Chain A
């Protein structure tokens, strides 16, 4: 194994490792462990017991279920809206101003309305996540559909392509990089918002709820664990998207 390669591949782990050591040194000699900064050993022990009890798996499953539903609804709606606005000036003029105005409301600003309309329900949370995924997906798809070069459009004209075949063979493939970027942003948005949803909508279950509950009980070790899990899942989702993109966009290289 090439040593240089090994070093290059593991460079990203250096800073986390340093932080871990500093953390360990800082908490090593405490006679009375501080409630706000647990030792690494304590966090590790709690992690193992939580994993054994199945608590992490159960909460993670709840969170992911909401993310998947909201994300799918958001990207499908965003794809349709973005494509229609991208293809038709009329649709753009009809929906564009409203879309851009509504977009100015921060996602968190929808919480009161959603709670009053749908209550503290699973549906309210899914809508909340879907809304967050909708914006980037719509914008990226719209931009992508507008990017078809005139040169390619002329090729379609020369071959007498109708609207549908133009969309399928030219517009959408040429928009694919933008659409995938939209999916990527929507996905990370959905994952961020599920944590928010679980904290703000007072219904039980999920990683966000687990974190909030740990805060109430001043269980800093559990708070730490939930932060780590949220970060790790976000990282993995992003990484999966990167793999998908490089696979689907091989023709761009």
Chain B
């Protein structure tokens, strides 16, 4: 079981048909994610990063090349991959407890066991005491915690996060970044692939930052982040790395005025 959670993407190409013409969305994507790694994919909007994630989830089909999870080609969604969407997508008609338990409903394990798993995951994300609450009564951050718990109950090999903190306010987001790191560490280092447009978030959380450029979407650079955890945002190395990534988007400090609108 040690090597589960390896994701390999080889020569991936993806086109979308628009008015009969096939427009390339992703071109020649090659990426290997090792078990337990935390990878961030960052890029401008329209670079195909969400499409890439949806391909890994299995919600998009028909592609050229290979997407392999532990050596097996991905052909559709599966419980070995957990997903956290940007909009938490908790079902409003179910309590937090039931939402988190959604992934366990098909399982033949006893009711008691299921309850216990749900409880463990609620504790993992710090939502104990909110079992019976409905999603509309939760704040944005809490709803996203519940969504993370829901995605983890099946013990997926990979957790796929599509801008999970993008809709939160700045302070809540920073707090949730810390929480996400804790969840990742406590969850026996499940492999995580996160889409984000927040450079600081990527540097704070990831082992590797994958930088994409757009039209068509390609991987421009993969930058390893070899800083000790927990990371300090005000650290010199942290800032330098952040600057280095921003430079890839021509947004680093020296040129900032030429891009001011």
Contacts and interface: CB of A to CB of B under 8 A. Distances in A.
Contact of B106 (A161, A170, A252): A161
A253 B136 contact: yes
A53 interface: no
B79 interface: yes
Nearest to A162: B106
Given A154-B59, A253-B136, A159 B79 contact: yes
A30 interface: no
Contacts of A159: 77, 79, 102-103, 105-106, 154
B65 interface: no
A165 B93 contact: no
Given A154-B59, A250-B134, A251-B134, A160 B93 contact: no
A152 interface: yes
Interface in A142-169: 151-152, 154-155, 157-162, 165, 169
Interface string B75-113: 011110111010101011110000000110110000000
A252 B136 contact: yes
A99 to B, nearest CB: 28
B89 A151 contact: yes
B91 A155 contact: yes
B93 A251 contact: yes
Interface of B: 57-59, 76-79, 81-83, 85, 87, 89, 91-94, 102-103, 105-106, 134-136, 154
A157 B59 CA distance: 8
A169 B102 contact: yes
Contacts of B85: 151, 154-155
Interface in A63-95: none
Nearest to B57: A158
| 8 pairs of A and B residues whose beta carbons are closest in the complex | A173-B93, A251-B134, A157-B77, A158-B77, A159-B103, A158-B83, A251-B93, A155-B89
Contacts of A169: 91, 94, 102, 105
A174 interface: yes
Contacts of A251: 92-94, 134-136
Nearest to B160: A158
Contacts of B103: 159
Nearest to B90: A155
A237 to B, nearest CB: 25
Contacts of B134: 250-251
Contacts of A154: 59, 85, 89
Nearest to A176: B93
B205 to A, nearest CB: 22
A160 B91 contact: no
Contacts of B136: 251-253
B162 to A, nearest CB: 11
Contacts of A160: 77-79, 106
Given A155-B102, A165-B105, A251-B134, A173 B91 contact: yes
Given A151-B87, A159-B105, 16 more contacts: A151-B89, A152-B89, A154-B59, A154-B89, A155-B89, A157-B59, A157-B76, A158-B82, A159-B77, A159-B103, A160-B79, A160-B106, A169-B105, A173-B94, A176-B93, A253-B136
Contacts of A165: 105-106
B93 A174 contact: yes
Interface in A188-246: none
A160 to B, nearest CB: 6
Contacts of A162: 106
